[in-house]
Amino acid sequence: MSTAKERLTLLIPFTVVETLVVIASRMTTERPAAIFLYALGVNFILLAIWRVFIWPFFVNPLRHLPTVRGPLIGAKVFMLHPRGSITVDWLRTIPNEGLIHFREALNYSFLLATNHRALMDVLHTNSYDFVKPPGGREFLARGLGYGLILSEGDAHRAQRKAVTPAFTIKNIRAMYPLMWTKTQLFLSQLEKEIRLHPVPGVQHAEVAGFVEIGGWANRLTLDIIGPAAIGRDFQSLENENDPVSQNYSAILKPSADLILLFGASLLLPQWLVKLIPCKANIVLPRNVRYLRQVFHDILREKRKLLQSEKSEQEAADGDILGTMMRGGEFSDSELVDQMLTFLAAGHETTAGAFTWCCYHLCIEPHIQDKLRQEIRETIPSSAASVSWQGLEGMPYLNGVCQEVLRLYPTVPMTGREAIRETTIAGKKIPKGTTIALCPQSINRSPEFWGETADQFLPERWIDTDPETGKQSPNKHGGASTNFAQITFLHGPRACIGKDFAKAEFRCAVAGLFGLFQCELKDPKQKITFGGTLTSQPMEGMNLKLTKIGGRE
């Protein structure tokens, strides 16, 4: 015997059809256009009633989950910055078994994954039951192409398999000399910058000045990922007008236009979003065309190198592009998509983490002082060479970097949409349901991190030998599960470059804080979180840098 819910589910579509038949029979046959429009309007109204008022409250199996109610809850979750920050309190105040339910303005359901089991199901166990929401994915693809980050299903499996050899720990550790050389150049350029913009009234012998560190961070990380990913040094540290750097900045820098287009993409088809009369819709295609042309030129040069007297192995080794070309799985257009993706993800995210690190160490200078002491004990001068063992073995440096990645996730929120009926934490999830994955709240969850979840404590990432007192870095921070921190996600869709990002992050932090004392240019300035995909300070990060003596 069918249940009342099943009967209601079956009844609604038939009711719509019967209503249309009755209306059509009562209309005169001399007005076919009127019949069609009238029927279309009635059908739309009934469908809207079904989707907005009946399905969400009487049929949807998610309606029994703990639900957050209030005006524009969905908009607040996805649009307030840092995105997802509103959910931090939900994890602390709403009893749940892994899922919290909320609705947007038209009562469309969303789920927030909150515990180990739910996160594991979405990111690992059933990961290919979910895809990135199509609207946001299509918008991001306008700037990044359909590379590894935005590919799905079998295409993603094939791409990840082809690219994985380039990201082995051995290969990444071999890149430390490149990363440190670029960091040394970064420091020398910063010193020139602060001499050009000195702090008024400082002692003549003191080298101190103002910089906007976010822009410099982007140039540093671009000059690292360029040689590592595609074998091209853009030299943007020495050329502030480098066109590749400027075009990427135009694509990725937060602006009201880009935020508008991103929000519209979640609701409207992309062809309609492209018609919105705003500056970003004019500039974005121009920027992307330039970058794609540059990468096509690099690809042609690389092919000539492969055909030269050098062996294919020698020519291809040493960068990600060479690895992908040697495998032969990608067309030229797909290789360009991968280059767009890796250069964007490989420099934007690390630069963001470095920028937020500078911010936090400015507001907690005692942490900065303790970090500087460890750096100077390990690296005698900024001109000295470093080893991966030295950088990865510094306990406090590791702890500071891990806490920045935990409390200031560069991508504070992302989403997944179920492409088939599946389960999360033992709950049946209908096809089409969107799941919010929120590093901004998971990384601060007391369930994982206890009462100190909101505190910046590098010590949680340090183990001390009870017998010798020797300290060493750990990778868990005292949490009982890897899913306590999802900055880089986990499972098949985890960030493939996370170890690369951590390596260049260590180099940049060790270099800057070993040589300079950092303060906010205006200690009273309120920093506004912004950005589309990544979290960035809307005003930039303006610092006062003072060169510390006793070390060159």
Domain that holds residue 40: 1-58
Q: Report if residue 445 sits inside a domain.
A: no
Assess whether 397 and 540 both reside in one domain. yes
Give the model's pLDDT for residue 9.
42
Per the CB < 8 A criterion, the answer to whether 388 and 176 are in contact is: yes
Using alpha carbons, select from 527, 518, 540, 202 the residue that is nearest to residue 365.
518
* DSSP 8-class letter at 307: T
| Chosen domain end from 58, 74, 98 | 58
**Residue 104 pLDDT > 50:** yes
d(CA 370, CA 368): 6
Q: Report if residue 221 sits inside a domain.
A: yes
d(CA 469, CA 491): 35
**Residue 388 pLDDT > 90:** yes
Whole-angstrom distance between the N-terminal and C-terminal Cα of the chain? 83
Assess whether 53 and 183 both reside in one domain. no
**Number of domains within the chain:** 2
Assess whether 192 and 316 both reside in one domain. yes
Residue bearing the bigger pLDDT, 31 or 196: 196
Percentage of the chain modeled with pLDDT above 70: 91
Query: Is residue 278 part of an annotated ligand binding site?
Result: no
Task: Give the 3-state secondary structure of residue 64.
Answer: helix
Per the CB < 8 A criterion, the answer to whether 209 and 199 are in contact is: yes
Give the model's pLDDT for residue 383.
82
In this predicted structure, which of 47-51, 288-292, 436-440 has the lowest mean pLDDT?
47-51
Angle between helix 332-363 and 134-144 (nearest 10): 100
Query: Region 466-483: what's the mean pLDDT?
Result: 94
Q: Classify the phi-psi angles of 110: left when phi > 0, otherwise alpha if psi is within -120 to 50, otherwise beta.
A: beta
In this predicted structure, which of 318-332, 487-501, 515-529 has the lowest mean pLDDT?
318-332
Assess whether 53 and 168 both reside in one domain. no
Q: Report if residue 115 sits inside a domain.
A: no
- What residues pair up with 109 in beta bridges, in sequence order? 103
Give the model's pLDDT for residue 14.
47
Residue bearing the bigger pLDDT, 455 or 203: 455
Helix-then-strand count for the chain, H and E: 23, 15
Query: Region 139-167: what's the mean pLDDT?
Result: 88
Concatenating the DSSP letter of every residue in 107-154 gives: --EEEEE-SHHHHHIIIIITGGGEE--HHHHHHHHHHH-SSTTT--HH
In this predicted structure, which of 16-25, 95-104, 128-137, 508-517 has the lowest mean pLDDT?
16-25
CATH of the domain at 530: 1.10.630.10
Query: In 10 A of CB 280, how many CB atoms?
Result: 21
Give the model's pLDDT for residue 373.
96
Q: Tell me the pLDDT of the chain averaged across its residues.
A: 87
Q: According to the per-residue pLDDT averaged within each range, which of 143-147, 191-195, 457-461 is highest? A: 457-461
Query: In 10 A of CB 195, how many CB atoms?
Result: 12
Q: How confident is the model at residue 204 (pLDDT cuts 50, 70, 90)?
A: low
**Residue 357 pLDDT > 70:** yes
Per the CB < 8 A criterion, the answer to whether 305 and 322 are in contact is: no
Assess whether 361 and 232 both reside in one domain. yes
Residue type, 526: K
Q: How confident is the model at residue 5 (pLDDT cuts 50, 70, 90)?
A: very low
Q: How confident is the model at residue 10 (pLDDT cuts 50, 70, 90)?
A: very low
pTM of the predicted model, to two decimals?
Answer: 0.88
**Residue 1 pLDDT > 60:** no
In this predicted structure, which of 29-33, 254-258, 274-278, 521-525 has the lowest mean pLDDT?
29-33
Q: How confident is the model at residue 416 (pLDDT cuts 50, 70, 90)?
A: very high
Q: Report if residue 2 sits inside a domain.
A: yes
Assess whether 181 and 43 both reside in one domain. no
d(CA 284, CA 45): 37
Residue bearing the bigger pLDDT, 24 or 83: 83
Q: Report if residue 39 sits inside a domain.
A: yes
Assess whether 184 and 312 both reside in one domain. yes
Q: Report if residue 238 sits inside a domain.
A: yes
Q: How confident is the model at residue 205 (pLDDT cuts 50, 70, 90)?
A: low
**Residue 254 pLDDT > 80:** no
Percentage of the chain modeled with pLDDT above 90: 51
| Chosen domain end from 30, 58, 86 | 58
Give the model's pLDDT for residue 315.
46
| Chosen domain end from 11, 43, 58 | 58
Per the CB < 8 A criterion, the answer to whether 259 and 536 are in contact is: no
**Residue 25 pLDDT > 70:** no
Give the model's pLDDT for residue 12.
45
Using alpha carbons, select from 291, 330, 288 the residue that is nearest to residue 160.
330
Q: Report if residue 137 sits inside a domain.
A: no
Q: Report if residue 457 sits inside a domain.
A: no
Using alpha carbons, select from 484, 436, 489, 434 the residue that is nearest to residue 460.
484
Residue bearing the bigger pLDDT, 307 or 367: 367
Using alpha carbons, select from 44, 49, 45 the residue that is nearest to residue 59.
49
